[in-house]
Amino acid sequence: MAENKKWMPRWFYQMASPRWCYDFTGKLLPWFAVAAALLLAAGMVWALAFAPADYQQGNSFRIIYIHVPSAILAQSCYMLMAVAGAIGLIWKMKVADMVAKACAPIGATVAILALATGAIWGKPTWGAWWVWDARLTSMLILLFLYLGVIALHSAIESEATAAQASAVLALVGLVNIPIIKYSVEWWNTLHQPATFTLTERPAMPVEMWLPLLVMVIGFYCFFAVSLMLRVRNEILRRERRAGWVRDLLQRV
């Protein structure tokens, strides 16, 4: 263990302390909350009022400013949940288990949002609310994985056992992430390719994808706020008998 500490950054072990994590996230929360509010407000106004209409889909395309960020975030949240679960399995860090548990309801919510907005977008585009397209089906499986993790935490009384079981499920479910990402390329699907990637120039004009980028960053900031709030609440619940928590609650 001492040998491992030489190779791991100091903050990694500091985050294992519930009190340090609670204090640290408390300092970050206002910054991310302000950033999320500003970015989402600016992105929505830019997307709805100033971005030009699509030459094929008209104004119905504007739903991508909600659909794309929620779909991206649903996948990122799942990967974070799986990584946190793995850290909890390997290093037995309670805070990592709390992060993994907090990710599940947030990820499920944005996955539902992605599926709902995709259905709304699909009706005028494809003529149907739902088709068993590879991208849509794999996103639905992602939602079921989130619900499975939530169900395990609800069904198993032992926090440690629930964390281990849900971590295993999350790690197994990681195989679905590349399927979601590459399903459009691997199969002949109705779903259009990725709107933009980090390695290629966006196909849409800059005045259309810039507000989308702002919305994606805003969604990530909002996710950070939601995650920190849930983790802080979980810390207080699990550490409620600790002296520092009792002192904190007395000062409130």
Instruction: Name the stretches of the chain with pLDDT < 50.
Output: 1-3
Residue 90 in tokens: 């390997």
pLDDT for residue 121? 87
Is 4 part of any domain? no
Q: How many structural domains comprise the chain?
A: 1
Is 206 part of any domain? yes
d(CA 226, CA 221): 9
The whole model's pTM is what? 0.91
Of 142, 106, 110, the residue nearest 228 (C-alpha)? 106
* Structure confidence by residue, pLDDT tens digits, 24-50: 999 999 999 999 999 999 999 999 999
Determine the distance from the C-alpha atom of residue 248 to the mean position of all C-alpha atoms in its chain, rounded to a whole number. Answer: 29
Is 78 part of any domain? yes
CA Rg value for the chain: 20
Is 45 part of any domain? no
d(CA 39, CA 215): 7
pLDDT for residue 8? 65
φ/ψ of residue 25, rounded to 5: -65, -30
Residue 82 in tokens: 């799986």
Give the chain as a 3 state SS string.
CHHHHHHCCHHHHHCCCHHHHHHHHHHHHHHHHHHHHHHHHHHHHHHHHHCCCECCCEHHHHHHHHHHHHHHHHHHHHHHHHHHHHHHHHHCCHHHHHHHHHHHHHHHHHHHHHHHHHHHHHHHHHCCCCCCCHHHHHHHHHHHHHHHHHHHHHHCCCHHHHHHHHHHHHHHHCCHHHHHHHHHHHCCCCCCCCCCCCCCCCCCCHHHHHHHHHHHHHHHHHHHHHHHHHHHHHHHHHCCCCHHHHHHHHHC
pLDDT for residue 183? 79
Cα angle for residues 239, 158, 11 (degrees, 5° grid)? 45
User: Which domain, by its residues, includes 134?
Assistant: 65-251
Identity of the residue numbered 166: S
